[in-house]
Structure 1
Amino acid sequence: MADREPATANAWLLQQPQIEIVARDRGRGYAQTAAQALPHTDQVADRPHLMENANHAFLDAVRKSMRQVAARLG
């Protein structure tokens, strides 16, 4: 695609009726565009965003429990 605009993505997706799964980031624009252009598709998060989200969740959990871990370790 020439750019990241929802209208550009919509025009391209409309020409791709064979697509069954759309891997995308969490942006609302892309979710809405995919749903409008290809309502029969499943939408999933793409790998880089899944890894980023998992990393943030792990680090948040570690940060929240560090005081308890440090206290038990002495």
Structure 2
Amino acid sequence: FGAETTWSFYTRGIPVIKVLEVPKFLLLGVIPFGSLFLIIQFIKRVRGLYEAFSSERIMQKESGELKSGL
């Protein structure tokens, strides 16, 4: 049905005069989802950096390289 209607409109030269109206909540609804994914990525990176920093400090402590001021 869709292909037939499209072909009919094309062959008859029917222009689309009306601009497609998209509900605003659909456009704005993307922002919270993007922000959620950004927060998740941030938390994952901070956790990875914290684990790397912790393991580096443990290795320095075991080898005696850890300074008392740090």
Q: TM-score, normalised by structure 2?
A: 0.37
Larger relative contact order, structure 1 or 2 (CA cutoff 8 Å, min sep 6): 1
Return the index of the structure with the highest Cα Rg: 2
Higher share of residues assigned strand: 1
